[in-house]
Chains A and B, each alone.
Chain A
Amino acid sequence: MKKLINAVDDVVTEALQGMQAAHPDLIEIHLDPNYVVRRGAPVEGQVAVVSGGGSGHEPMHNGYVGLGMLSGACPGAVFTSPTPDQIYECTRRVNGGRGVVHVVKNYTGDVMNFELAAEMARADGIEVEAVVINDDVAVQDSLYTAGRRGVGATVLAEKLAGARAEAGGSLGEVAAVVRKVNDNARSMGMALTPCTVPAAGKPTFELGDDEMEIGIGIHGEPGRERMELETADRIVDRLMGPILEDLPFRSGDRVLAFVNGMGGTPLIELYIVTRRVARVLEERGLRLERSLVGSYITSLEMAGCSITLLRLGDELVRLWDAPVHTPALRWGV
Chain B
Amino acid sequence: MKMAQLTPAGTIHPFPRSGLQVFVESQSGQRVLRCYQCGKCTAGCPSAYAMDLGPRRVMRAIQLGLKDEVLASSTIWLCLQCQTCSARCPAEIGIAEVMESLRLLAAAERSRPAERDVALFHRLFRDLIRRWGRIYELGLGALYNLRGRHPFANLGLLPHLLSRGKLPLLPQRTKGASQVRAIFARVRAAEREAPPPEAKEGTDASRQ
A and B found bound together: no
